[in-house]
């Protein structure tokens, strides 16, 4: 059950990194937020690389990098903007749609079919997303759904979930053709270098750069590094669907951070809705 522990660790550290990013970098542009979040992962990841052997690599590994990095960059920028513009309790729960998109892409590209249990999980995820805005129902039965599309962070995080539905499978393939820690270090190092290389063209000021070197941002880097290493260790030990489902408990941690750290409003309906969404994710994983 080591994969279970690693998956829960990945969920906790991801939610903590999200909360710390919003707290210490939320006043910056989404690009500067992303740059700070990635740069301070590098010392910890490089330290891990020094302790592992370089595995034998084949063309599949490099094909996975070429496909995954542009998609990861797009998802990462959308993720940062969602955290900045919306409450954590309204944006993070939509990461629960990632396994749903994995099922859809599996049906489109591989002809895989959803089991009855998986279909029930999908229904619960949709129901939970409706309940996130239940207080709007007095304005009309469809108002909670319309509220999702009006909330920019919710729309952005749905886009992230869709992209992650592709990159999760792509990353698992790359791990199978390398090793978990080696892939994590190489993949996120290249992503960080890509973000840093484009920084001069994003109009970052000296104030932005000074803000990136604060104790809070270093904590973000530590949590992100711990999340990355926990993620790749977990996904290398079990089926991707099971691992991603358990990791999506991060949305519960994130909503709790929104309640107790950021004092966000209407938390009862958001906690209930998020809990139902997470339960739906577990059902989809058990039915896969």
Query: Residue 141: what pLDDT?
Result: 56
Q: What's the rounded Cα separation, in Å, for the pair 192 and 38? A: 5
Query: Residue 75: what pLDDT?
Result: 94
Tokens of 282: 């577990």
**3 state DSSP class of 212:** coil
Query: Residue 205: what pLDDT?
Result: 64
Tokens of 29: 């542009």
Query: Residue 237: what pLDDT?
Result: 82
Query: Residue 81: what pLDDT?
Result: 92
10-residue mean pLDDT profile of the chain (288 residues): values are 87 93 87 86 80 88 93 93 88 79 63 69 74 66 65 88 84 85 86 85 69 83 90 79 76 86 81 82 69
Q: What's the rounded Cα separation, in Å, for the pair 91 and 88? A: 5
Query: Residue 136: what pLDDT?
Result: 65
Report H helices in the chain.
2-25, 30-39, 42-49, 59-85, 88-91, 98-110, 116-131, 143-150, 152-176, 180-198, 206-211, 215-235, 240-247, 250-260, 267-286
Query: Residue 25: what pLDDT?
Result: 87
Query: Residue 110: what pLDDT?
Result: 47
């Amino acid at each position: 059950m080591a994969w279970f522990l690693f998956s829960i660790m990945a969920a906790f550290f991801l939610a903590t990194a999200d909360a710390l990013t919003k707290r210490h970098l939320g006043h910056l542009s989404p690009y500067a937020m992303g740059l700070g979040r990635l740069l301070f992962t590098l010392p910890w990841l490089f330290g891990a690389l020094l302790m592992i052997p370089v595995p034998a690599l084949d063309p599949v590994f490099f094909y996975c990098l070429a496909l995954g990095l542009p998609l990861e960059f797009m998802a990462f920028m959308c993720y940062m903007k969602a955290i900045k513009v919306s409450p954590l309790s309204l944006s993070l729960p939509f990461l629960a749609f990632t396994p749903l998109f994995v099922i859809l892409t599996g049906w489109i590209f591989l002809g895989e079919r959803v089991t009855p249990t998986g279909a029930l999980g999908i229904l619960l995820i949709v129901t939970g997303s409706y309940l996130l805005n239940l207080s709007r129902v007095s304005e009309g039965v469809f108002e909670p759904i319309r509220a999702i599309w009006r909330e920019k962070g919710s729309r952005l995080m749905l886009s992230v979930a869709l992209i992650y539905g592709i990159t999760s499978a792509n990353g698992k393939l790359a791990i199978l053709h390398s090793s978990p820690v080696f892939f994590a270090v190489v993949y996120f190092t290249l992503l960080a270098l890509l973000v840093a290389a484009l920084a001069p063209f994003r109009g970052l000021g000296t104030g932005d750069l000074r803000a990136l070197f604060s104790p809070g941002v270093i904590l973000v880097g530590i949590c992100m590094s711990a999340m990355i290493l926990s993620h790749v260790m977990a996904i290398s030990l079990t089926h991707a669907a099971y691992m991603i489902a358990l990791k999506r408990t991060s949305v519960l941690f994130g909503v709790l951070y929104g309640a107790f750290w950021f004092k966000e409003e209407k938390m009862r309906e958001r906690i209930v809705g998020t809990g139902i969404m997470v339960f739906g994710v577990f059902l989809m994983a058990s039915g896969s």
